[in-house]
Structure 1
C-alpha cells in the first residue's frame, strides 16, 4: 500500500554524498598527480600550456582541499549554513584544481565537481542551521588556541635558548616548534639548549597534548552518541534535518498506526511524533523512527520538516486531539497531503473542515461490510481484499 508512495528522491542526501565523492576524488587525484609529477608520465592535457610548477602545486593543494571538503561535508550532513558556504567554495576549487593538474586522472574530478556545484546552490535553503557551540566546545577551542599562543610566544621570547629559532622567521619557527611539540611528533630540528628552555618545552607538551585531547573528545563525542542513538533506534537531529518527501505520523493509535508502520518499514522515510514517554521507548526498541513531543507543537512540527513532508497521517484514538493536530499541520503546510482516521463517523466532516484531504473511518468501513454481507455480490472477495489479500481484484473493480 504505502510502499510506493515515496516517488521522489531525497535530493539533499544525494548532494551530500556527491560532495563526499568530490572530496575523495580530490584527495585521490591530488595524490596520484603528485606521484606522477616529475616522472615524465604527466605531461599535461593542454600540450604544456600549464607549467609543471603549477601542476605540482595544484596537486598538493588539491589534496588539502579534498580533506577540507570531506570535513565540510560532515557539516552539511548536520545542515550547517557555514558548511554549505565552505562546501560550495571547495567544490569550485576542486574543479579548478582538476583543470590545473592537467592530468587524465583529474577529468573525473572536474566532471564531478561541475555536476555537484549547481545542485549545492539549488539546495542552499536546506542548509540553514546556525552553529551554536556549547560552553564545553567554546572552552575546548579556547584551550587549543591558548596553548598554541602560549607555546609560540614563549618560544619566540626564549629564542636565544633554542637551537633553530632565530632570524626573520623566528615567529614561524616558534609556532612550528609549538605544533610539533604539542602533537608529540618532535622532529628534533628545533631543540632547547638550556634547562629553563627545556622546562618550558615540557609545559608545552603537557598543555598542548591536554588541549588537543579535550578538543578531540568534544568533537567525537557527539558522533559516537549519534552512532549509538541510531543503533538503538533513536532518530537524531542530523537524520531529521536530511528528511525530505517523508511521511509524518502525528500521534499513535492502536487501530491504524501500528499496521501502517509495518507497511512503512519497506524503505519509506517516516517519522513518528508521540507525546508518551513509555510508548516512545517501546517503539524505539522496535527500531521505529520516533521522537518525543506534542504533535500540535508548531515549533516541533517545523523542526521535523513538515514543510518538506510528502504526507501527514493523524490516526490516534482521540478524535478531538486529532482534529487539532490536523488543523495545526494544515496551517504550517497548505500543500501537504493529510490523511486522518476518524473513530466516530460523525467527525468525518469536522476533519475535512480542519484540513484533512482524506478521512478514513475504520468503524464505518467495518459496519458497511457487515451490512453488505447480508446480500451482495463480491462481498467476500472485497472483504479479503481489504484484509490484505493482494491476489484478489482491486477495489476499482467494485
Structure 2
C-alpha cells in the first residue's frame, strides 16, 4: 500500500509526528467543517467562488445537502477511527475525497478551506494505516437486524413504485423511497397518500414492518454500544464480548505480581482476560483497553463467564497463597485438562499449590534469590544458578 511504502521511508522523528491522534483529530475537523459549510451554503447560498459559473445551480444546492450528510457520516467514521477499527479507516479514506469533491461542487468561497483540509488530511490517514488494525465484530443478531431494516426499506420502495398509480404523489423511485422512509419511521407528513384499498393495505404493512425493523435495529445495533460503554465504566465485559473469547490466557487475580504479567502478555499481543474482584483495578484495566471481568477468581460463575473451557492456559496470581489455592482448585474442577501456572509467595506453600492442581508453581522467594546471585556473579559465572533457574 502507498501508506506503508511512505511510512517505511519516513525519518524516525517524523513517524512520531504523524500519530493516530492527529488522524482522528483531522477526520473530526473535516467532518464538522463539512457539516457547518453545508448548512451555510443551504441557508445562504454561499458566496460564489471562481468555479460558480461552471457548476449548475442545482448541483451546487445538492452538494450543500449531501455535504452536510457526508459530514455526519464522517463523524461516525472518526469515532470508529478512535477505537482503532480498520472499517473506520476505510470509511474515512472513502469519505475524505468525497468531501473535497462536494466542496468543489458547492462552488462557494466558504467551501475552499474544506477542500484544502480534506486533501491535507488524506496523507496523514495513509501514513497511520497500520495503527488501525482492529476488526469490526458484528453478532448474528446485529447482522440480521441490519438486514431486516434494509429489507423493509427495499420492500416499501419497490412496492410503492410498483403501485405508483394507486398513490397520490409517487412518480419516481426517489418518491417511493421517500414515502417508505417517512411512513416506516411514523413521521407521516401526508404529502403522499394511498388512493385505493390495495395501496392502503400496502401502506399498513409498511408501517408495521417499518416500526418493527427500526425497533429491532436500534436495540441490536445501538444497544450493545451503550451496554459496552456502561460496562467499560464499571470495569466489566459484556456477554457478547465474552462469547468471542477463544484460545486465550486466563489471568486470575490482580495485584503487584499481576501487573508485569499483564504487561508481558500485552507486549506479546496475546489474547487474555483478567478476572479480579477489585473493582478499582478492573476499571483501571478497562480504561487501558485490557479485557477484564469483575468477579471472585475462586468462584465458578466468573470462570465460566470467562470461557475457561476455551482457555489455552490459566495464570493464577492473587498475591495470596490461600486465595491462589482456591482459584486453582476451582479452575482444575471446571477444566481438568487446562495448564495452570501459579506463584507461591511463601516457599512452604509450593507443594500445597501443586496438590491443589497447579501444573507449575514458581517460588518467588527462591527465584528472587537465584536472580540476585546470578546478577551479582554474572550469568556465565554461575552454572549452578543456571540449572536452578531451568528447574524452576
TM-score interval w.r.t. the shorter chain?
Answer: 0.5 to 0.7
Gap change, CA 1:103 and 1:317, over 3 Å in 2: farther
CA drift of 1:224 comes to 0.7
In 2: Cα distance, 1:222 partner to 1:10 partner: 32
Give 1:298-317 correspondences, 5 Å limit. Answer: none
What SS does the corresponding residue of 1:92 show, helix, strand or coil? Answer: helix
In 1: Cα distance, 2:203 partner to 2:197 partner: 10
Gap change, CA 1:230 and 1:17, over 3 Å in 2: farther
Gap change, CA 1:13 and 1:223, over 3 Å in 2: farther
CA drift of 1:280 comes to 5.0
In 1: Cα distance, 2:371 partner to 2:71 partner: 56
- Corresponding residue for residue 216 of structure 1: 218
Gap change, CA 1:251 and 1:92, over 3 Å in 2: farther
List gaps (5 residues or longer) in structure 2.
1-15, 239-250, 264-268, 294-302, 304-309, 322-339, 344-363, 376-392
Gap change, CA 1:275 and 1:119, over 3 Å in 2: closer
Does structure 1 residue 92 correspond to structure 2 residue 97? Answer: yes
- Corresponding residue for residue 23 of structure 2: 15
Which digits, 9 at most, give the CA deviation of each residue in 1:72-100, with x for residues without a partner?
A: 22332343333322211211222333344
CA drift of 1:228 comes to 0.5
- Corresponding residue for residue 201 of structure 2: 199
- Corresponding residue for residue 348 of structure 1: 371
Which digits, 9 at most, give the CA deviation of each residue in 1:243-265, with x for residues without a partner?
A: xxxxxxx9977557789x9xx9x
CA drift of 1:274 comes to 7.9
Could you tell me the TM-score, scaled by structure 1's length?
A: 0.57
Give the number of aligned pairs.
284
Higher RCO by CA contacts (8 Å cutoff, separation 6 or greater): 1
Q: Is the 8 A contact 2:55 2:105 kept in 1?
A: no
Gap change, CA 1:211 and 1:317, over 3 Å in 2: same
In 2: Cα distance, 1:142 partner to 1:255 partner: 48
CA drift of 1:182 comes to 0.8
- Corresponding residue for residue 291 of structure 2: 291
Gap change, CA 1:56 and 1:78, over 3 Å in 2: same
CA drift of 1:21 comes to 1.8
User: Cα RMSD (Å) of the superposition?
Assistant: 4.5
CA drift of 1:292 comes to 4.1
Of Structure 1 and Structure 2, the greater helix share is in 2
Q: Bigger shift: 21-30 or 250-259?
A: 250-259
In 2: Cα distance, 1:322 partner to 1:116 partner: 49
In 2: Cα distance, 1:198 partner to 1:212 partner: 21
What SS does the corresponding residue of 1:43 show, helix, strand or coil? Answer: coil
Does structure 1 residue 110 correspond to structure 2 residue 109? Answer: no
